[in-house]
Amino acid sequence: MAAYYLSKDKQVELSKIAQSIATPGKGILAADEPAGIIESRFAPMNIENNEENRRYYRQLLFRTKESRQHISGIILCHETFYHKTDDDDTSFPRLLTAAGIIPGITVDRGLIVLGGTDNETITQGLDGLEERCREYKKNGAQFAKWRAALKIDKNCPSQLAINENASKLARYASICQQCGLVPIVEPEVSLDGDHDLEECQRVTENVLATVYKALSDHHVYLEGTLLKPNIVTPGKDCTKTYSVEQIAEATVTAFRRTVPTAVPGIMFLSGGHNEENSTAYLNAINRVNLYKPWTLSFSYGRALQTSVLRAWKGDKNNSEQARNEFIRLARQNGLASLGRYELSN
């Protein structure tokens, strides 16, 4: 009966946006780090975290023409959404739209501790969300993002944290769709910990099954959504080693068991994996010889930006080198999203 909750026109609009973002061979640049998080990306490169550096850096990324054939959408944070180009005063959402890139906006308001759990978290931001979404849509956003974070540990993730986060993701997705924004649903299972690959797969399957039950309960129109999950990998302190192919197979198996075929795209987060591994995993995932009904691509933050920041160093004289790094990473991940990346590329 979900069809009755959104008009046919809205369904068509949402599914068109979701399908364009999930265009094969393209992915998303996550440039939505709020000021507090970008601090942790700027600091190791000795880049001062001030508003003009944040604006200039994003402008540099958004104006890199040669990256556009591999980037379908870019996620912005609130501050960047209202920034403008320095020469012609164009708002960033307008700049992106004119370049054929779909602008998106992170609408959650970060994590707080979920009481009654072992320091697990819940995501804030539902209050006033509808008004904010309408305003973002009016100003050019076509999609939104909300991140829930879950961790694997002795008592975690608890079923309470899984259920509560799934329910908030579903409520967020429903509000976005009413406002004409495609919701990216991001239930991230963290890389932290010493768990093995099998444990990550088990937890990821449970989380995704719970999220899709909640989306169904809220009558969310799946054709007008995208999923942004973690790649299924062992924890970063795990002592066992696995091949890239084993990781890819565990990942595809988990999604085949839990993600409906109506979802047009699964756009992975990089989650702390380095650039090389993020590309290698995505490539291998696309080469797994199993039926995969969705586009399997990227929505990377760090894996598309670490080398760019290292080249830029906060100095305008390094802009060309920084742009070249961005083109290289966008191209490699674009190829990986088709399973066509070779180390020599």
Ligand X SMILES: O=P(O)(O)OC[C@@]1(O)O[C@H](CO)[C@@H](O)[C@@H]1O
Q: Report d(CA 90, CA 231) in Å as an integer.
A: 36
Shortest distance, CB of residue 295 to ligand X, whole angstroms?
17
Among 27, 32, 250, 283, binds ligand X (CB under 6 A): 32
Distance CA 315, CA 322 (A): 10
**200-259: which residues touch ligand X (CB under 6 A)?**
none
Q: Which residue is closest to ligand X by CB?
A: 301
How does DSSP classify residue 104?
A: E
Minimum Å gap between C-beta 132 and ligand X is 18
| The only residue of 70, 168, 302, 323 in contact with ligand X, by rule CB under 6 A | 302
Which residue among 27, 93, 271, 334 contacts ligand X (CB under 6 A)? 271
* Count of other CB atoms within 10 angstroms of residue 41: 18
Q: Under the phi-then-psi rule, with left for phi > 0, alpha for psi from -120 to 50, and beta for the rest, what region is 265?
A: beta
Q: Which two tokens stand for residue 336?
A: 């990986």
Q: Which DSSP state fits 67?
A: G
The CB-of-198 to ligand X minimum distance in angstroms stands at: 23
54 vs 41: CA distance, rounded Å: 11
Which listed range, 19-27, 47-55, 87-95, 298-306, lies at the site for ligand X (CB under 6 A)?
A: 298-306
Amino acid at 98: A
**Which 140-169 positions form the footprint of ligand X (CB under 6 A)?**
147
Contact in structure between 147 and 123 (CB atoms under 8 Å): yes
Selected from 3, 7, 12, 37, the binder of ligand X by CB under 6 A is: 37
Residue 187 binds ligand X (CB under 6 A): no
Judged by CB under 6 A, how many residues of this single chain contact ligand X?
Answer: 14
Contact 181, 220 (CB under 8 A): no
Residue in 30, 95, 175, 311 binding ligand X, rule: CB under 6 A: 30
Which residues lie near ligand X (CB under 6 A)? Answer: 30, 32-33, 37, 75, 147, 186, 269-271, 300-303
